[in-house]
Structure 1
Amino acid sequence: MNATTITPQFLPGLGATVLSASFTQLLLYGFLGLVSYEYLRWLILPSKSSIPDIPAVTNTAPFFATLDAFKFLKHGHSFIKQGYAKYNPKPFKVPEVFRWHVILTSSQQIEEFRRAPDSSLSFEEAILESLQIEHTLGPAIANNAYHIPIIRTKLTRNIVNFMDNVRDELSAAFEEELGVPENGEWKQLPALATIMKVVARTSNRVFVGLPICRNRDYMELNIQFTIDVIYGGMILRMLPWFLRSLAAKWLTNVPASIQRGKKHLEGMIEERYQLMESFKNIDPETWDGQKPNDMLMWLMEEAQGEEKDAEHLVGRILTINFAAIHTSSMSFTDALFHLAANPSFIKPLRDEVEQVIKDEGGWTKASVQKMRKIDSFLKECQRYGGLGALSMTRLSMKDFTFSDGTYIPKGTFISAAAGPVHKNVEYYDDPEVFNPWRFANMRDTAEEESEILESARHSLVTTSSQFLTFGHGRHACPGRFFAATELKSMLAHLVLHYDVKMEDGQEGIVPQPLEISFSRTPNRTASVLFRKRQD
């Protein structure tokens, strides 16, 4: 991948993040795009292949297929579920406004899919097109993703060094953002909005450090930046290509966001450059021992040419936040809803956390890794709901043929049917039942049978053709190890210090998620009740 930090599981969950507030406007832009598209195709453009050898869930006639693409906005999950039930193990296709999207169903094809070279099936090009990165994040991000190796290596390797800071920040963030009274009274809070603040603070403790990670304006900037980019990308994608550059001037806000970010980061960047220069020729070893150990510093050390400018570094940090904050926030909010709807789950989690911390002597990376029920709870939330119906999106750069003869023409978007795969009875017992200890039990069983590698396969960060939340293969989410540690630490802290429940009359009911197209996000308006732990 050399486009952005956006990960294979991130793309499906993005769209629904903003559409609840903009659905009517989206349909209006989409309708204008549809009219322009159909007119140009009739007048000028040659007819594009409808991939006739792959069956469709909807109408295949040109104009009606495009109309069905708008039905897909509302019924996408249902269409994909129907296609999976009808055609598995063969692929099928669903309509998008300007193209057909091929959906893979079988483990065999998914494994073959992940091994295909980027020159044939490109993740990067799929992301560039789907989110219109050139327009929404800018050409520097689109053309030079030097931050990806940093995330894959330095961020992952430093998790053990960050544990104290992560623990300190999430503890302070929960205390301050929840503001729960000490007298044991319940406090009602909007779940997703509250969790986004906690995640933004905790992540930025690692990205830029104190005190900026607690600055309100900086946090609001990073949260709003993601919404702006997603919204702009979705609208631009629904317009004909010749209108996108013009429309981007009104639909994207990247330059203003970068200027706002510079107010917070430019002084720090300049100060660090001055220190780097002063130590470079005098005492580089002392600098190595004293320099900040965070994402911003790593970016500064790796940046070349104009990427060293504060403006570019700010844009890079905003992009990393773009990928990190919302995926983790949606994942944790999903888990929070399941926990609040079923408070009986709290005690087993709490007991495990207390025992592990006692045995390990405190909060460390190793102790968090040993919290199997915490890990299982989060993984089951992803299996049961997750970030969307699809994963591993690719764009075919040339004609491609699978070993079973399935032919994919150049220019086709392809994804794996993550949602239906996660509910397949061949892979999971009682897949329609939410079982928080499912994966912990699988690991215990595997170890009882001395299958250590099989046990590891059931951890949250391990990908497979049967668990696709983080994608699968070489483009699997490079930041999943940090994200998993952060999420597990947050859940462990929550159950250790708080009680949670849904509003009266909503016990046992997980708030309905928002599903649009193949995207899914936790309910954006639902609230959860918090109080300080009472037992």
Structure 2
Amino acid sequence: MLTCIATRNVKAPMVGHRSVLEPAWLVGYRFTTQGRSMLRQGYHNFRDKLFKVRCNSLEVVLLPNRYIDELRNIPEEKASPPKALFNKGLGHYVDMDIILESRLHVHIVQQRLTPTLGSIMPQLQQELEFALETELPDCHADGWVSINVQDLLARLVGRLSARVLAGPELCRNEEWLSASVKHSGHAFATSMTLRMFPGWIRPIVAPFIPFYWRARSDVATAKRLVGALVERRRAVESQQGAAYHKPNDLLQWMMDEATGTDASPHKLAHRLLFVSDASVLTTSILTTHFLLDLCAHPQYLNPVLAEITKVLREGGNFQRTMVPKMVQLDSFLKESQRMNTTFLMTFDRVLNAPITLSDGTTLPKDTHVAMPTDAMLHDPAYLPGGGDPNTFDPFRYARLRQRPENAHRYQLAMTDSTSLPFGHGKHACPGRFFASSEAKLLLCNLLLRYEIRLPEGQARPDNLLVAENLVPDPAARLWFRKRGDGDELLRSLSGVGE
């Protein structure tokens, strides 16, 4: 409520009104299905100025690109990304309070997970071998199998992420897998449903939403499973003392650094589920879009496969040092992400204090600000290398990286002031390097092991727009068939797949 009041005090045009007589609540209601066109309309009409949109009952101020560098340098005490995420997701109703209590998980991902990616890639490859056999048991070389692609990738990513988050004890636990894969969808459905109602009635409506109870059940499952795991580890460490060999996973790193209430088993479990949500959501959507785009443009399959094979032959087992060499694969992923931006607005902040920008623009306390990321990614002025921003060009960034000065630029996990899918600056998505490596490991294995295509006579399924979110069609299916030479090819690549 305070955010809406503060945003209304910002002098900026509100986009999306069909007439001056249209009530604000109706504009917010239409945003659910017309959010992308409203944001692009605002960007087109007010490209270098502030404008506002009404996301259901939440009002957001969209800032022009010129403010991004000064905004990213404002400390979190004054401009809070967690509070913005909490407000947009109606965190009180989906147990998101954990992200406001501390930044323990962010610190651990940045300081412990990212530097160790090289050493954990062999573990992920091993887990992926098991996961593919488990999730695709009926996929053989003698026939095609129709598979819901997003469901498959969510479970594969869920298994890989759990291996890194809490080791072998959790990654093959079906209860954890179900809760961790489904929780983000249950929470999203709950918050999007509640956003359709005025704030005063939400506490009454929430208990009647089935997804509300499913999300709570997922959290309870996580607390039970992970809480027990934390207690077992602490008991063994207490018994063995200095001889105890600590697991090398994110849960243990959080256990080692957590203090106060953060160290309670249930808090650690809840935080681990939140990290899992982010990992599964980001990587499964990214890889789903990749496969849908590749199947819609099959002429790019052979170049991508040739690059993967060449890099693996030169490097042996899948290692993080090989990831930067997969330039075409990275470029395809980055272009697919550009064309199918999950979050149409990013760089969200809620102001904890009034701020005055360099040109004198003043924003009051509690204002929710963001950047129109999707519109910027389709602006020719911000498209590196030029060209048509509405044309899918999967090797766009690979060509740019052929220039010596660009060799280490324009990569999927890198951010800059004009490419904001992962945010930018010190509050950019901390897990983006893991997501990039995990996605490439998964896609390399899928493309080497399976033939994948769209159903006969069908085009790429349209994406689903829900307010400021763009996601793949959850019903999208692809046909899979095991390559006759897939396993032999993997074995020949210096040990990959063994």
TM-score (norm 1): 0.83
Q: Distance in 1 between matches of 2:365 and 2:72?
A: 17
Q: Which residue identity lines up with residue 100 of structure 1 in the other structure?
A: E
1:231 aligns with 2:189: yes
1:269 aligns with 2:224: no
Q: Give 1:235 shift.
A: 4.1
Cα contact 1:180–1:186 (8 A) shared by 2: no
Q: Distance in 2 between matches of 1:465 and 1:180?
A: 46
1:511 aligns with 2:461: yes
SS at match of 2:348: strand
* 5+ long unaligned stretches in structure 2: 486-498
Q: Distance in 2 between matches of 1:53 and 1:309?
A: 45
Aligned to 1:257: 218
The 5 Å alignment of 1:197-216 reads: 197-216=155-174
SS at match of 2:452: strand
Q: Distance in 2 between matches of 1:266 and 1:398?
A: 37
Aligned to 1:30: none
Question: Which string of whole-angstrom CA distances, capped at 9 and with x for unpartnered residues, describes residues 416-444 of structure 1?
Answer: 11111111112222211111111111111
Pair 1:455–1:92, CA change in 2 (3 A): farther
The 5 Å alignment of 1:463-482 reads: 463-482=415-434
Pair 1:488–1:295, CA change in 2 (3 A): same
Q: Which of the residues 106, 123, 131 maps onto 1:148?
A: 106
Q: Which of the residues 402, 412, 416 maps onto 2:357?
A: 402
Cα contact 1:196–1:326 (8 A) shared by 2: yes
Q: Which residue identity lines up with residue 517 of structure 1 in the other structure?
A: A
Q: Which residue identity lines up with residue 268 of structure 1 in the other structure?
A: L
Q: Distance in 2 between matches of 1:100 and 1:307?
A: 32
Aligned to 2:395: 437
Cα contact 1:188–1:530 (8 A) shared by 2: yes
Pair 1:49–1:527, CA change in 2 (3 A): closer
Q: Which of the residues 433, 445, 449 maps onto 1:493?
A: 445
The 5 Å alignment of 1:73-222 reads: 73-106=32-65, 108-137=66-95, 139-222=97-180
Aligned to 1:419: 374
Aligned to 1:11: none
Cα contact 2:146–2:477 (8 A) shared by 1: yes
1:483 aligns with 2:435: yes
Cα contact 2:82–2:100 (8 A) shared by 1: no
Q: Give 1:54 shift.
A: 1.5
Cα contact 2:148–2:477 (8 A) shared by 1: yes
Q: Distance in 1 between matches of 2:105 and 2:68?
A: 27
Question: Which string of whole-angstrom CA distances, capped at 9 and with x for unpartnered residues, describes residues 203-254 of structure 1?
Answer: 1011122243122222111122222322333344555555555655665446
Aligned length in residues:
477
Pair 1:99–1:61, CA change in 2 (3 A): farther
Aligned to 1:336: 291
Q: Distance in 2 between matches of 1:403 and 1:396?
A: 16
1:457 aligns with 2:409: yes
Pair 1:48–1:470, CA change in 2 (3 A): closer
Q: Give 1:102 shift.
A: 1.4
Aligned to 2:493: none
Q: Distance in 2 between matches of 1:96 and 1:274?
A: 48
Cα contact 2:452–2:480 (8 A) shared by 1: yes
SS at match of 2:412: coil
Q: Distance in 2 between matches of 1:151 and 1:302?
A: 12
Q: Which residue identity lines up with residue 352 of structure 2 in the other structure?
A: M
Q: Give 1:99 shift.
A: 4.2
* 5+ long unaligned stretches in structure 1: 1-36
Q: Which of the residues 472, 479, 493 maps onto 1:529?
A: 479
Pair 1:140–1:123, CA change in 2 (3 A): closer
Calculate percent identity across the aligned residue pairs.
30
Q: Give 1:190 shift.
A: 0.7
Q: Distance in 2 between matches of 1:197 and 1:116?
A: 38
Q: Give 1:407 shift.
A: 3.4
**Greater RCO, CA 8 A, separation 6+:** 1
SS at match of 2:131: helix
Q: Distance in 2 between matches of 1:524 and 1:255?
A: 22
SS at match of 1:163: helix
Question: Which string of whole-angstrom CA distances, capped at 9 and with x for unpartnered residues, describes residues 326-374 of structure 1?
Answer: 1211111011101122222211111111111111233111112211111
